[in-house]
Amino acid sequence: MADYSMMIGGAAGQGVQTVSETLSTILTRSGYYVFSIESYESRIRGGHTFTLLRVGEKQLLGARRSLDVLVCLNEETYERHIHKVHPKGIVFGKVKDQLRGEDIRVFSMDFEGEALQLGNKIFANMVATGAVLAILGIPLQKAQEYLQEAFGKKGTEIVAKNEEALKRGAEIVANFGLEGKYPLPPYDPTPRYLVSGNEALGLGALLAGCTFYSAYPMTPSTGILNFLASRAQEYGLVIEQAEDEIAAINMAIGASYAGARAMTGTSGGGFCLMCEGLGLAAMTETPIVVVDAQRPGPSTGLPTRTAQGDLLFVIHASHDEFPRFVFAPKDPEEAVNTVIRAFNLAEKYQVPAIILSDQYLADTKWSYDVFSVQERPERPLLPNKVPKPYKRYALFPDGVSPRLFPGDEHLVVADSDEHDEFGHLTENLLIRKAMQEKRMKKLELMRQEMRFPFFIPGKDATLLGWGSTWGVLLETRRELQKKGKEIGILHFSDLYPLPRGLQELLAGLPTPVVVEHNFTGQLAMLLSRETLLAFPKRICRYDGLPFLVEELTEKVEEVLST
């Protein structure tokens, strides 16, 4: 079955992302499945950036290390990645030593030179795109349609030049006799969706009925801001770039108090600044949704890399204790549903809901045959009669008081100080005790809303993971299956509060191995705390890069052999 991995690398500013964007779209529209991950640096020009693009006939859930095609927009790409190309692979572009003594075939192609002949070196990336399409035997027709869409606004001349560049790339490949070298099966006309994590989180917010989004730019969360801003005009959204993350979360809280569904998004550093605001949402029982798109830290860390280091942080963030939801969607499809659910649950229990994303989920594009959105925005019903005079924090048995908005006949008083049922500040310690119990009471009800982890049994071992690693865990399981091992998976998207009944499940798992993008194994610690079981086998990657299928497979084999 056709399944190829390709890498396109170059310096920032050389248009690697355009190649990736163009190829992913065209390949998806041509009926194939794509999985593309972006690796970039925190700079606008220079440095090294690449896209890892996998294309195949069946749905792909992760990226592979070993490359079939390496496209070098600069020589550095060649030097850095040539060792990843497997025997019989093809390398082209700015290459160094053309004779490798192995089966790898290396072709020198001067993309920039070709582009210059067309009038401008910016067309170099389209020459490369044409070359890749030719190697895969994809006719250029779909590509031409896409160019019209993507560059139409810039004028017919630009579209024509890009088309020429595509053709030029394809011609060169034909001259080398490489056309259709990695053939894909005939065209399947099923339309497919191609969605990244950030787009999905933005789409989820839009569908959830979020009409207020405030944020301070911070990679890798900025794509959510961009997505929602692109829809603001059409759907009447209030989108505000705040002066800092403190303002961003306080704005979201203000908007929610006033009746809007409000969200903010950031990365770890910005989340640190939001902690006091998170407590404010909890204390005033104002529902908000906060996305933390994780990146390695501490401090500024690695802005453009991936990590899962904030799990225990967000569960505990802000002083004293209060209930909150924490979710970590496994892929873009689940991300859309998770955001809608997070809004519904945050409102139902009047608590903050946190969604953990990461650079890997945020920037990776997945393709789907069916993109299923099952969740619907729901506003919780008010009791038939709200007792008068209105008490914002009325002590109802379940801890959830009727929530009204200002502007109607009732007065709505919310307070960050400890307060009485009306919302007025108090230092009466009996009331304090009752209020803390009221808030904390919700936690057990919230727990009942949480879904059980996704589970596939396997007798040889079980891989435990959370959030964005789901796909690569599944791919790794398949890989090990080929080697005769039966590996199970237990994957968590609902992380806090954890659902009940985990103890029995976890106690019976054969050889649990926790796989995480952090140093200490935070899921393992969380589960140990919850179940009093120990999870000593851990595979932790914290260099900022996502797990790739072969690497994780090797690591699992290694762990199981010790």
| Residue with token string 């052999």 | 561
Find, among 443, 395, 398, the residue nearest to 423 by Cα: 395
- Name the residue nearer to another protein (CB basis): 74 or 211: 211
- Nearest distance, CB of residue 203 and another protein, angstroms: 6
Give the residues across from 546 on adjacent strands. none
- Nearest distance, CB of residue 36 and another protein, angstroms: 14
CB neighbours of residue 152 within 10 Å: 11
- Name the residue nearer to another protein (CB basis): 236 or 397: 236
Contact set with another protein (CB under 8 A): 29, 191-195, 199, 203, 206-209, 211-212, 214, 232-238, 240, 242-244, 246-248, 250-255, 257-262, 276-277, 280, 284, 371, 373, 376-379, 405-417, 422-425
Length of the chain equals 562
- Nearest distance, CB of residue 217 and another protein, angstroms: 15
Find, among 379, 291, 380, 369, the residue nearest to 335 by Cα: 291
- Name the residue nearer to another protein (CB basis): 64 or 419: 419
- Nearest distance, CB of residue 277 and another protein, angstroms: 7
Residue 21's contacts (CB-CB under 8 Å, 6 or more residues apart) are none
How far is it, in rounded angstroms, from Cα 102 to Cα 96? 15
- Nearest distance, CB of residue 322 and another protein, angstroms: 15
- Name the residue nearer to another protein (CB basis): 247 or 556: 247
- Nearest distance, CB of residue 413 and another protein, angstroms: 4
Report whether the peptide linkage leading into residue 220 is cis, meaning its omega lies within 30 degrees of zero.
Answer: yes
- Name the residue nearer to another protein (CB basis): 256 or 522: 256
Tokens of 174: 């034909």
- Nearest distance, CB of residue 38 and another protein, angstroms: 17
Q: Which helix (H) or strand (E) holds 295?
A: none
Tokens of 417: 């100080």
Residue 228's contacts (CB-CB under 8 Å, 6 or more residues apart) are 202, 205, 206, 210, 213, 237, 239
- Name the residue nearer to another protein (CB basis): 368 or 454: 368
- Name the residue nearer to another protein (CB basis): 378 or 550: 378
- Name the residue nearer to another protein (CB basis): 118 or 251: 251
Report CA 77 to chain centroid distance, whole Å: 26
- Name the residue nearer to another protein (CB basis): 191 or 508: 191
- Nearest distance, CB of residue 226 and another protein, angstroms: 14
- Nearest distance, CB of residue 546 and another protein, angstroms: 22
Q: How many angstroms separate the most distant Cα atoms in the chain?
A: 86
- CA geometry: angle 9, 14, 16, nearest 5 deg: 45
- Name the residue nearer to another protein (CB basis): 101 or 236: 236
Find, among 268, 265, 332, the residue nearest to 36 by Cα: 332
Cβ–Cβ under 8 Å, residues 220 and 198: yes
Helix (H, G, I), strand (E, B) or coil at 539: strand
- Nearest distance, CB of residue 415 and another protein, angstroms: 4
- Name the residue nearer to another protein (CB basis): 415 or 530: 415
Over the Cα atoms of the chain, what is R_g? 26
Cβ–Cβ under 8 Å, residues 87 and 102: yes
- Nearest distance, CB of residue 260 and another protein, angstroms: 5
Cβ–Cβ under 8 Å, residues 423 and 413: yes
- Name the residue nearer to another protein (CB basis): 229 or 559: 229
How far is it, in rounded angstroms, from Cα 154 to Cα 158? 6
Question: What DSSP string describes 91-123?
Answer: EEES-S-S--SSS-EEEE--HHHHHHHTT-GGG
How far is it, in rounded angstroms, from Cα 366 to Cα 386? 47
- Nearest distance, CB of residue 82 and another protein, angstroms: 35
CB neighbours of residue 201 within 10 Å: 30
